Structure 1
Amino acid sequence: MPHDVSRASLPRRQLGRFIRRQREENTTLPQSQVAAAMQWSHSRYSRLERGEPGKVLDRDLVELGSILDIEDDQVAVMIELARQVAEKTWYNSYNDLIRSNFDVYMRLETEAHSMQIFRPDVVPGLFQTSDYSRTLDRIFFPTESAEEQDRRAELKLRRQRNITRKRNPLTADLVLHESVLHTRVGNDAIMSAQLRRLADLSTQPNLTVQILPFKAGFPTGTPVGPFFVLDFEPGMNTTTSSSLVYTETYTGAIYLEEEADLSLFRKAMAEIQCAALDHTASRNLIRQVARKDPHQ
């Protein structure tokens, strides 16, 4: 089932899911009894388990650990997660530009170790040139000032450091439908530059780009919308699922963490990658379209 995480960060969600699992596995206590033992309202405790905003102190988690029979080392993990909730991120200064349902994805993207992306419609933000991005933003945010548009473009460039930084860059496998190469955004020069950028990025060791050709039809047997499978490196914060799926529509976003959903989207990605052109053929096609004279 999708989780309503439009107001929750990754550490907050991890903390909530871990506490809920410990309560269910270690005790027979319902939420109401745990809340009473903590001298909290039921709603406050239930928000904690759902990963929604709310201040929680170290001593609260120590007491909660005692009530739920959680080992001391796991309580330490809970405290670390709670402290991460309060940490500021590099994109805090852009909060006024980030849609309410996208701040969660921003944190996930920053913390992910690797991701798989399928876009049948548009070049994803991590791979966009500034002009391609600005063209779309001017249409989608028509009332913004020139200064706001500049900051939005700056935000996109900052995000791209996730895949271009030299130390531990994000690994990304991207599959685009061939129609994306021919769907004009801006003018011919903008599209040509975007495609050249895409081809150049595909040569980086942490990135792969494949094109799903028109002739491939529907590899999954049905049209599939855009989706991202994000994987997080195991380590300190392994109290919950280390992977999730992000899908987006015109009106909002959905985050899926259940194993059944992950398996379904991984299967879809494998089928799409199998039907797509290989990396070299994809790069050649991208560069061919980038060189093509649109007036011929």
Structure 2
Amino acid sequence: MTSEDGSSTLPRRQLGRALREMREGQGLRLDQAAALAELSKSGLHRIENAQVVKVKIREIRALCEVYGVSAEETSRVLKLAEKAQAKSWHAEFNWLYRNDTFTTYVGLETPARKIILHHEVIPGLLQTADYARAMIGAYFRDDDAEDIEKRVELRLKRQAIVRRKSNPLELEVLLDESALHRVLGGPRVMAAQLRQVAEMSKLPNLSVRIVPFTSGCTWGLVPGGFLILDFGTDAKGRPVEPPLVYREGNGCPDLYMEHADDVQRYHDIAAALRSTTLDETQTRDLLRRVARSYAA
């Protein structure tokens, strides 16, 4: 589903999803909500589906009043509406998990049907609590213990999309071998973490394959970690939302790329990496072998 200018910016996606969830939470049909907000049914449909380029703040405010949401939620949605008026392929946030920009990424990760990712550490969707605690503690070194635990709890809750019984996320992990040797939290933590990845890789919706050191530079200098998010198709076989590429900024602005050429380029990079990986059985064997070395 594309907007009038041939693109669908991240704020418009999030605004449409937020409004749709509010409406459904009130048990209102599209035509009922539109009538109450003095909008046309087609107009509200276009807003919810990120097809409106110039979002009208007064219309969004009217919808929030109809849905009876809190002042805080109204403020959050109006900020999205303001951002939706700008044509930008980038979303920037500082990884303070409680701010709006983090919920933006979660809002994309949660409805995704498939994610392909490349990383040089164990990705968050596969992390144990101890590994996550070590990583988060190293990054947010000035946070107190309570805040660290809140961040760990949230990271673990995000893993539900992989483990859920109904329509679990299809996840393909192209894991650089360096992740097995970058020690976070000590040998005991690493041993448990690698064993967990080996076990999770047996899930039918999860593929983990290691890019070994011996593969060299598959695509020149691989541009660090990245995720390709795909949102699946509707009943008529049309994309629910265009796929996008996400790259974490690590101190710089995070980057979202939605242009078809950019997405295809990262699919090509993933294919090049995939062609050099160990197969899934070899990957599990290596994970377990390295885990045993930590436990020794």
Q: TM-score, normalised by structure 1?
A: 0.70
Contact 2:14 2:104 in 1 (8 A): no
* Counterpart pick for 2:45 among 73, 77, 99: 77
Residues matched between the structures, number: 236
Match of 1:26 in 2: none
Match of 1:281 in 2: 282
Match of 1:228 in 2: 227
Sort the Cα spacing of 1:185 and 1:9 in 2 relative to 1 into closer, same or farther, 3 A: farther
Query: Which SS does the other structure have where 2:107 is aligned?
Result: helix
Match of 2:13 in 1: 10
Match of 1:123 in 2: 122
Larger radius of gyration: 1
Q: Percent identity?
A: 32
1:107 maps onto 2:110 in alignment: no
Sort the Cα spacing of 1:291 and 1:140 in 2 relative to 1 into closer, same or farther, 3 A: same
Match of 1:292 in 2: 293
CA distance in 2, matches of 1:170, 1:233: 11
Contact 2:161 2:168 in 1 (8 A): yes
Q: Give the superposed CA RMSD.
A: 3.3
1:191 maps onto 2:159 in alignment: no
Match of 1:169 in 2: 168
Q: Deviations over 1:247-279 (max 9, x none)?
A: 112123111111100110000001101111111
1:138 maps onto 2:106 in alignment: no
CA distance in 1, matches of 2:227, 2:178: 19
How far 1:157 moved relative to its partner? Answer: 1.2
CA distance in 1, matches of 2:37, 2:261: 31
Match of 2:211 in 1: 212
Q: Deviations over 1:182-217 (max 9, x none)?
A: 011011000001100111110000000000000101
Match of 1:254 in 2: 255
Match of 2:267 in 1: 266
CA distance in 2, matches of 1:141, 1:182: 22
Q: Deviations over 1:2-49 (max 9, x none)?
A: 9985xx36342789xxxxxxxxxxxxxxxxxxxxxxxxxxxxxxxxxx
Which letter does structure 2 place at the counterpart of 1:150? E
Match of 1:18 in 2: none
Match of 2:244 in 1: 244
Sort the Cα spacing of 1:241 and 1:80 in 2 relative to 1 into closer, same or farther, 3 A: closer
Contact 1:202 1:208 in 2 (8 A): yes
Contact 2:112 2:230 in 1 (8 A): yes
CA distance in 1, matches of 2:151, 2:294: 31
